[in-house]
Amino acid sequence: MVKKTMVNTSIWFAMAVTSTLYGQQPKENTLGSLWPKVEENYPGIGVKMTAMDAAKLNEQVVKSNMLPQVKAQAQNTYGTYEGSAGAFFSQAGFFNVSGLSVAIDGSSTAANTFGSTIIEWELFSFGKLRKQIEAAGALYDKSVSDKDAYILNLKKTLSERYITLLYNDAKLIWTEKNAERLDDIRKITSGLSASGLRPAADSLLASSSYMQAMGENNKWSGFRAAALIKLLELFGDETLNYTASAERFTNPSAIYQNTENSVGSSHPILDALDKQSEYYTLSGQAKKRASLPTISLLGGYAHRGTGIGPNGTVSGAWKDGFSNMTNNFLAGIGITWNITSLHTTRLKSEQLFKEAESAKLLKTQYKQAMQADLSASQTKIGQQYQQLRKTRLSVRQSEDAYKMYLARYKSGLIGLSELLQIRILLEQAENAHIEASRDYWMLLAYEAELTADFGFLFNNL
């Protein structure tokens, strides 16, 4: 009974230690777990978000054109005063003088003070402002679609870089295995040569093959380090644990089941082209209506002072320019029509309509090409998965065969050249399996971009 209690206690203690050690291990990443870090840290997404904010502000600016336009000016001048009597409202950029139609006594120059405020409110513009607002809204919608298309492309970039890292890691492990096998052959051959059972040339050949394998290992070590740097650039972390993904890379745990057979019109790339066409169309309509007249409500108030007194005496003193004050106002309705722009605006609107047509045709072209690519990739993925299964079986059979031939070589039943040839066949089988794995996952990444659905790839790699 005491012995049984001690055994149970030992088992529970071992389970607790194992659980503690497991909890201390670094968290293994999957492709899907990396995306939130990219979405949070990558500056390219911030660029697109800023562009959206700018488009929204532009929409608000265009809407503000429907508000009354208020202009104010103030002047204090000193100069001549020839002119005709009568009140006037000056526009910005013009200056006024104290006008008199007859010669009078006093100074030949006088000071003037003038201030005015004018309100202009477009009452009717034949839909011009409304079309401008709609075009600004379409431009904002296009910026949203551009951001979605960029994020979709960024997901593909992340997937491709992650697959490249796993591919280079698999290649590195493959060269390490080759180097280990050749090192074993080199040691066996060296011992057999030292005992006189094998010629010295076999030892040199085995050593040469081993050094070639080590050189290949150095090459893929550099490739893996470079791929890791490119991947870390997307989310900024300095470490990455991809052990579980490396296992799934050459041995997928789930079969891909495609449920999408067509490219939808809501695909971000197609939607961006659709919004671009809509923006050009609305801009063309707004430009076309810009040639029509504008009816506005006008109002104004002016405050004026001059150095010319009521009796006609002119004072040249600056302070007298604030004397003899007068106030005037106006209210009315005005119509503005830039007749000379009729031809220009018509050509400009036609240009924008052609741009809209071009974007619409480009969307049709993209959709056809993407649909063809989707159908082709679906056919490839099924066959690629079958190839992956066969290359995995080929690797297992080649490994078993190599072990048998290695035993025969140790027994002196076959020569070194035969063993090396068998090893090359095993190396080729392993390499073919790695290449098939890379092609399989790259096809999934490409199809995920076409269907705008990275769920399977993010969850299974």
* pLDDT digits 0-9 by tens, 64-87: 777 677 777 776 666 655 554 455
The confidence score (pLDDT) of residue 194 equals: 60
The confidence score (pLDDT) of residue 125 equals: 61
Task: Write phi, then psi, for 261 (nearest 5 degrees).
Answer: -110, 0
Residue 446: which residues within 8 A CB-CB, separation 6 or more? 156, 373, 377
Question: What is the C-alpha separation between 357 and 397, in angstroms, rounded?
Answer: 59
Question: What is the C-alpha separation between 221 and 209, in angstroms, rounded?
Answer: 19
Residue 96: which residues within 8 A CB-CB, separation 6 or more? 75, 77, 88, 90, 112, 114, 304
Question: What is the C-alpha separation between 294 and 331, in angstroms, rounded?
Answer: 17
pLDDT at 114 over 60: yes
For 202-216, what is each residue's pLDDT tens digit?
667 777 777 888 888
The confidence score (pLDDT) of residue 254 equals: 67
Listed range (13-27, 162-176, 218-232, 293-307) with the worst mean pLDDT = 13-27
The confidence score (pLDDT) of residue 158 equals: 92
Residue with tokens 């500056």: 43
Percentage of the chain modeled with pLDDT above 70: 80
Over range 423-432, report the average pLDDT.
Answer: 88
pLDDT at 127 over 70: no
End-to-end CA distance of the chain: 49
- Counting every residue written for the chain, the total comes to 461
Cβ 290 vs Cβ 340: under 8 Å: no
Over range 374-382, report the average pLDDT.
Answer: 86
Q: Residue 249 corresponds to which tokens in the numbers above? A: 């890379």
CA neighbor of 32 nearest in space, from 162, 148, 227, 147:
162
H or E stretch at 341:
none
Its pTM stands at 0.75
Question: What is the C-alpha separation between 425 and 404, in angstroms, rounded?
Answer: 14
Residue 441 φ/ψ region, left for φ over 0, alpha for ψ in the -120 to 50 degree band, beta for the rest: alpha
* Average predicted confidence (pLDDT) for the chain: 77
Cβ 66 vs Cβ 129: under 8 Å: yes
